[in-house]
Structure 1
């Protein structure tokens, strides 16, 4: 299972950019014994979030799903707001950031990184 974005993934992210901030939903499944490695990655990644203007909005453990198919439970959920898709792409391409990604890769057996786009304000007529 893939846990890290590829160059093609990042190119598509930028190509589909509607502009403005992006909130990235992170669904994480830890490899056996992977949580300590992810915790270290998180500690080190916080400086990169700050450097690129990102903000961790939420981080928490997954509980038993209320509605989900088998295998759709996640160990952890993070929600991170980036000022733009370009800022996210620059962060993950940063050579200093690349030095810590092995901590994340080693920690996870599966991940979903889902960019989200805010809904337009609804106009009732």
Structure 2
């Protein structure tokens, strides 16, 4: 099973091309936590005691939420999930997060800022797998 934790240069470029003129975007985050957070590649961020992936993600959000607010972004929804009502059997996500960003440019500036990057390792330590789906408003 392939895990997805970071954008690739190709997906990042396509994201920019697809969304840079669309104004506000909402990012749908699907999150699957590790049982135990893995800080082996991030010793400087390692807490004094072993923690769960969910606890590591909470540390990530503790530092990230104020930075999102400063950037003009906002958390629209944060919740827990389990198995799909309609979807692949056996596939489940521990948490779901919807974050609205003013624009792609604001999101990219936020995601590349030094303030954000110094704590982003908590996200990496926390997650077993994730999906990040950019959404733009439309009428069905």
Indicate whether 1:42 and 2:45 are aligned: no
Aligned to 1:61: 80
Give the alignment of 1:34-113 within 5 angstroms: 34-113=53-132
Is the Cα–Cα contact under 8 Å of residues 83 and 90 in structure 2 kept in the other structure?
Answer: no
- Please report the TM-score for the alignment, with normalisation by the length of structure 1: 0.89
Is the Cα–Cα contact under 8 Å of residues 25 and 134 in structure 2 kept in the other structure?
Answer: yes
> Residue 16 of structure 1: SS of its match in structure 2?
helix
> Residue 85 of structure 2: SS of its match in structure 1?
coil
Q: Counterparts of 1:71 and 1:22 in 2: how far apart (Å)?
A: 30
Aligned to 2:49: none
> Residue 64 of structure 2: SS of its match in structure 1?
helix
**How many aligned positions are there?**
121
Aligned to 1:29: 32
Please list every run of at least 4 consecutive aligned residues from structure 1 whose deviation after the TM superposition is greater than 4 angstroms: none
Q: Counterparts of 1:30 and 1:67 in 2: how far apart (Å)?
A: 22
Q: 1:117, CA displacement in angstroms?
A: 1.4
Q: 1:73, CA displacement in angstroms?
A: 1.1
- Please report the TM-score for the alignment, with normalisation by the length of structure 2: 0.80
Indicate whether 1:16 and 2:28 are aligned: no
In structure 1, runs of 5+ residues without a counterpart are none
- CA deviation profile, 1:84-110 (whole Å, cap 9, x unmatched): 011111111001211111000110010
- Bigger drift between 52-61 and 69-78 goes to 69-78
> Residue 89 of structure 2: SS of its match in structure 1?
coil
